[in-house]
Amino acid sequence: MESSIDLIGFNSDEQENLFRICAGLLHLGNIQFDEKENDASYVRADCSEAMNITCSLLGLREDMISEMMTISVSVARGEQFQRNLNKEKANVARDSIAKAIYSRTFGWIVNRINSMLAPPTRLAGNELEIGILDIFGFEHFEQNSYEQMCINLANEQLQYYFNQHIFMMELEEYKSEGISIRDVKFEDNRPLLDMFLLKPIGVLALLDEQCVYPRATDETFIGKLYEHFSKLPYFISSKRTILDTFTINHYAGQVKYDGEGFLDKNRDLLPNGCVEMLQRSANSLVATIFTGTLTRTGTLALGMLGGARKSRKSKRRMLDLKAGKIGGGKNATTLGAQFKISLQVLMEKMSIANPHFIRCIKPNHKKQADHFSDEYVEAQLRYTGMLETTRIRKDGYALRPTFQEFVMKYKPLARNLRLTGTAENAKSILENTGESGWQIGHTKVFMKYWLLEKLSAHMEKVHKAATVIEKHVRGFIARKKVQKLMSLARIETELLKHYFIEIADAQYKLYDQLEVLCDQDMKRSKDFWKAKPKVIPTPPQVTKPPTPPPQPKHPSPIPPTSDSDTDSNEDSDDTFSGPATKKILQKKFGMEGNRAASIRWFQQTQKTNKGAVNSEGNFHDWFHGIITRRQAEKLLTSSPIGGYLIRVSETRFGYSLSVRAAQRVKHFMIDQTPSGKYVVVGEPQVHKSLARLVEYHKATPVTSEGDLLTRPCGQQGSVDYQELIGEEDDDYAAPAEVMDASAYLTHTPGATPPIDKVPNNSFSRRKIASSRTDKVSSLRPGAKSKAKNAGPPPLPPR
């Protein structure tokens, strides 16, 4: 207990005072009295120790508390009168003091816990709260007194609330909504409550009235009850001549009450001056709790929670309660009046609440384990209204959603999600389900308790169907998305493949150029690499340069050449095309490295040159169009050593010679001199035609390693030089016998298979590369449309 008190937040002084008060009340109950000859009571001598301990713990003076319990002081017309109390009265005074201290201490503990557990910020007053009402059940003992009457009256009030909430309010709602239902019978205990609570003739009112009269006794009070209530069905008169008991027919059964002590218990008055004595107590907690005021229900109002400003009327009520008055009248605040107000406050709170009832049923009245009394349990079920409650729940309509709530929840059952909350739509939904057990009211749908499960089953079917539809739709969307991504991936793969091919071709071209330069450096004499003496130049004389002769805008046409070998006199006049010649060619045909420029250069300068054309007007079998270095290597892969081809360069205005060597394919640049002759770059020999160049190197090695030209590499099917010929030129054609590079794999070296022996559906590496080049070219702006499946898209511009 101490740890719990510490955990809540009580400090050490508060804890000590609480324990002192509890111990003081226990010792106060041990004080006993004796009477003198004149009926004056006094504290027994053997209780002096209990008196001393009580005063020490409660912080009171011994003489004062002894006087409070044995002497009664009254004031009349400004004069004080003292009267000795007998032994019985002294016991009542002692118990009154103990009950007052205990009651206020309990109230202080409740307020203190609420203040420590309350939120730090002030509440706005509109917060929701959860309350638990736990009350004693109906009590019926062998001897029943004032306490049992109050407890049973509270149970009657709660039973009335239960009837109103379960039966009366439900029947009224059925009537207002136009719902037909069987009549429900229940025991209405309102007349019995009126017999207890009405003014001026009521049990509590008569009891308060008798408490005011000095000469009234318990017998006179019971006589008043017989006088006013003997004809009522709830009041059963006793057959005894001495009127000391009365019987009330409660909802749970008849209870016989013993009227002895009713007036004294109802008065519950402290001796005059007792409050002032306790306010001056040395125990700070005792002084505090008796300084505070009481609420209208008799509980301590110390430290009002919430800090709400009190009205003038409520302040006046608090002052009256502090002075021992109620309602501002002359009547003393009795325990019955406080109890009546407590019931009113309880009903005010419960009337605005949404209650849930829990009924506790006793298995037997003997408090024995493992013993079930059928008759006793049945009686409890009947008088608590449980049987009628279950019947009205079964026959009635436990579920009552509004039209809007019902339609919003169950509109999928109507296959229409645009329904609004109307009676017609709610009715159509229920009719579509084919279920019974419902009625349509004016504002609500009334349904049986079991209909909820069936509607949930229908909704589950709709949810499963929606899940299947959603699954297929999601799959369709996902497949479409994947197809689109895969298509984009294929396009990007092709673009990336062509991009890598271009990078590889550029690397091979750079390697060819470096190889040529290295070969040139190897052929230079050793004197070339010797260090030359430094010559100090003399400043030249400044003279006006001569006027240069005018240069023609375009180079002169290449003169026709014959097929004869090159003369020695002509070789000395031929040089490679220099920067000036390149500028003229670029101005006329376009930038080098542009495929369209290379085609224009070939068509305008090489068609009539007879460089790649034989005497019959056809291209030589070793001639190829504008193909890349990589494509040439693929074509020569299956060729024997010495296999060769000549192709139009794609990076410059000229040709390239590709030869199959022992370890790899070698490439050589063939340039054209301004006089229209051909020469392998780095070689001194100049040739009048490409055919003479080929014949020369069949006998003379191209390189120092002894590489000779042996077997031309032809092409099968569609040729790769078609774009060089042009559609308007029909006089140029492929040679009669085109050699496929793959023929070297299946035929004897030196034997050329005829064209009709090659199947139509066979594709050599050369043909595949040529076809791909044509397809990419057809996608460029200005190109004529090809077949629908024209291969991969064009490469992005660089």
Residue 355 tokens, joined: 């209650």
Q: How many beta carbons lie within 10 A of that of residue 192, not counting itself?
A: 22
Please tell me the distance from the alpha carbon of residue 344 to that of residue 300, in angstroms, as a whole number: 18
Question: If residue 445 lies in a helix (H) or strand (E), which one and from where to where?
Answer: strand 445-447
Q: Which amino acid is at 584?
A: I
pLDDT of residue 544: 55
CA distances from 113 to 9, 117, 296, 468 (A): 8, 6, 21, 57
DSSP structure class, residue 67: H
**Coil, helix or strand for 58?**
helix
pLDDT digits (tens, 9 = 90+) for 360-387: 899 998 888 999 999 999 988 888 888 8
- Give the pLDDT mean for 670-684: 86
Mean pLDDT of the chain: 79
Please tell me the distance from the alpha carbon of residue 230 to that of residue 233, in angstroms, as a whole number: 8
Least confident of 148-152, 347-351, 526-530: 526-530
Residue 676 tokens, joined: 């229209």
**Coil, helix or strand for 665?**
strand
Please tell me the distance from the alpha carbon of residue 718 to that of residue 734, in angstroms, as a whole number: 9
**Coil, helix or strand for 228?**
helix
| β-sheet bridge partners, residue 712 | 644
Q: How many beta carbons lie within 10 A of that of residue 75, not counting itself?
A: 9
pLDDT of residue 546: 55
CB 644 within 8 A of CB 624: no
> What domains lie within the chain, and their CATH numbers?
1-118 (1.20.120.720), 146-260 (1.20.58.530), 568-778 (3.30.505.10)
pLDDT of residue 197: 93
Please tell me the distance from the alpha carbon of residue 759 to that of residue 54, in angstroms, as a whole number: 128
Whether residue 740 has pLDDT greater than 90: no
CB 593 within 8 A of CB 652: yes
Q: Report, in this order, helix, strand and coil percent for the chain, each rounded to 5.
A: 45, 10, 45
pLDDT digits (tens, 9 = 90+) for 480-511: 999 999 999 999 999 999 999 999 999 999 99
pLDDT of residue 365: 84
| β-sheet bridge partners, residue 294 | 300
Nearest to 159 by CA among 383, 388, 392, 387: 383
Q: Which amino acid is at 244?
A: D
Burial track 15-34 (b if 16+ CB lie within 10 A, e otherwise): eebbebbeebbebbeebebe
Nearest to 264 by CA among 308, 216, 230, 327: 216
Nearest to 687 by CA among 658, 655, 729, 722: 655
CB 129 within 8 A of CB 310: no
Dihedral in degrees, nearest 10, Cα atoms 202, 204, 208, 213:
60
pLDDT of residue 83: 86
| β-sheet bridge partners, residue 253 | 250
Q: Is 173 exposed, middle or buried (0-12, 13-18, 19+ CB in 10 A)?
A: middle
pLDDT digits (tens, 9 = 90+) for 48-74: 999 999 999 999 999 999 999 998 887
Ramachandran quadrant class, 9 (left: phi over 0; alpha: psi -120 to 50; beta: rest): left
Q: Which residues have C-beta within 8 Å of that of residue 598, sequence separation ≥ 6?
A: 589, 626, 648, 649, 650, 653
pLDDT of residue 475: 96
More confident residue, 609 or 466: 466
Whether residue 332 has pLDDT greater than 60: no
Whether residue 575 has pLDDT greater than 50: no
Q: Name the band, by pLDDT with cuts 50, 70 and 90, for residue 666.
A: very high
Residue 567 tokens, joined: 């003369």
Whether residue 13 has pLDDT greater than 70: yes
Please tell me the distance from the alpha carbon of residue 602 to that of residue 558, in angstroms, as a whole number: 13
Whether residue 435 has pLDDT greater than 60: yes
pLDDT of residue 66: 92
pLDDT of residue 150: 94
Please tell me the distance from the alpha carbon of residue 419 to that of residue 439, in angstroms, as a whole number: 19
Q: How many beta carbons lie within 10 A of that of residue 695, not counting itself?
A: 14
How many helical (H) and strand (E) elements, i.e. helices and strands, does the chain have?
29, 15
DSSP structure class, residue 59: T
Backbone φ and ψ for 42, nearest 5 degrees, come out as -155, 160
Q: Which amino acid is at 108?
A: W
What is the 3-state secondary structure of 561-606? CCCCCCCHHHHHHCCCCCHHHHHHHHHHHCCCCCHHHHHHHHHHHC
Q: Which amino acid is at 627?
A: I
Q: Which residues have C-beta within 8 Å of that of residue 510, sequence separation ≥ 6?
A: none
- Give the pLDDT mean for 536-552: 55
- Residues in the chain, overall count: 798
CB 736 within 8 A of CB 617: no
Please tell me the distance from the alpha carbon of residue 289 to that of residue 294, in angstroms, as a whole number: 10
Calculate Rg over the CA atoms of the chain.
61
pLDDT of residue 39: 82
CA dihedral over 192, 196, 199, 200, signed as positive or negative: positive
Least confident of 261-270, 651-660, 685-694, 782-791: 782-791
pLDDT digits (tens, 9 = 90+) for 687-728: 888 888 999 999 999 888 888 999 999 887 677 887 887 655
Q: Which residues have C-beta within 8 Å of that of residue 318, sequence separation ≥ 6?
A: 293, 294, 295, 301, 310
Q: Name the band, by pLDDT with cuts 50, 70 and 90, for residue 608.
A: low
Share of the chain above pLDDT 70, in %: 78
pLDDT of residue 756: 43
pLDDT of residue 610: 59
CB 712 within 8 A of CB 639: no
Q: What is the DSSP string of 230-254?
A: TTSTTEE---SSS--EEEEEETTEE
Task: Tell me the CA end-to-end span of the chain in Å, nearest whole number.
Answer: 87
Whether residue 671 has pLDDT greater than 80: yes
Whether residue 622 has pLDDT greater than 80: yes
Q: Which of 16-25, 205-214, 568-577 has the highest mean pLDDT?
A: 16-25
Please tell me the distance from the alpha carbon of residue 206 to that of residue 222, in angstroms, as a whole number: 9
Q: How many beta carbons lie within 10 A of that of residue 522, not counting itself?
A: 9
pLDDT digits (tens, 9 = 90+) for 298-330: 677 755 444 444 444 444 444 344 433 333 334
Please tell me the distance from the alpha carbon of residue 523 to that of residue 682, in angstroms, as a whole number: 9
Q: Name the band, by pLDDT with cuts 50, 70 and 90, for residue 783.
A: very low
DSSP structure class, residue 269: P
Nearest to 499 by CA among 105, 792, 86: 792
Residue 90 tokens, joined: 């002294």
pLDDT of residue 123: 66
CB 499 within 8 A of CB 507: no
Helix axes 190-197, 203-212, angle to 10 degrees: 10
Please tell me the distance from the alpha carbon of residue 634 to that of residue 665, in angstroms, as a whole number: 9
Half-sphere exposure of residue 370: CA atoms within 13 angstroms, side-chain side: 0
Whether residue 105 has pLDDT greater than 90: yes
Q: Which of 144-148, 740-744, 760-764, 781-785 has the highest mean pLDDT?
A: 144-148
CB 720 within 8 A of CB 775: no
| β-sheet bridge partners, residue 440 | 445
CA distances from 45 to 50, 429, 663 (A): 10, 87, 136
Whether residue 570 has pLDDT greater than 70: no
Residue 377 tokens, joined: 């349990």
The DSSP bridge pattern shows strands 643-648 and 623-624 to be: parallel
Backbone φ and ψ for 156, nearest 5 degrees, come out as -65, -40
Ramachandran quadrant class, 184 (left: phi over 0; alpha: psi -120 to 50; beta: rest): beta
Q: Name the band, by pLDDT with cuts 50, 70 and 90, for residue 286.
A: very high
pLDDT of residue 94: 92
Q: Which of 9-18, 117-126, 135-144, 409-418 has the highest mean pLDDT?
A: 9-18
Q: Which residues have C-beta within 8 Å of that of residue 656, sequence separation ≥ 6?
A: 512, 629, 632, 646, 647, 648, 649, 667, 668, 669, 670
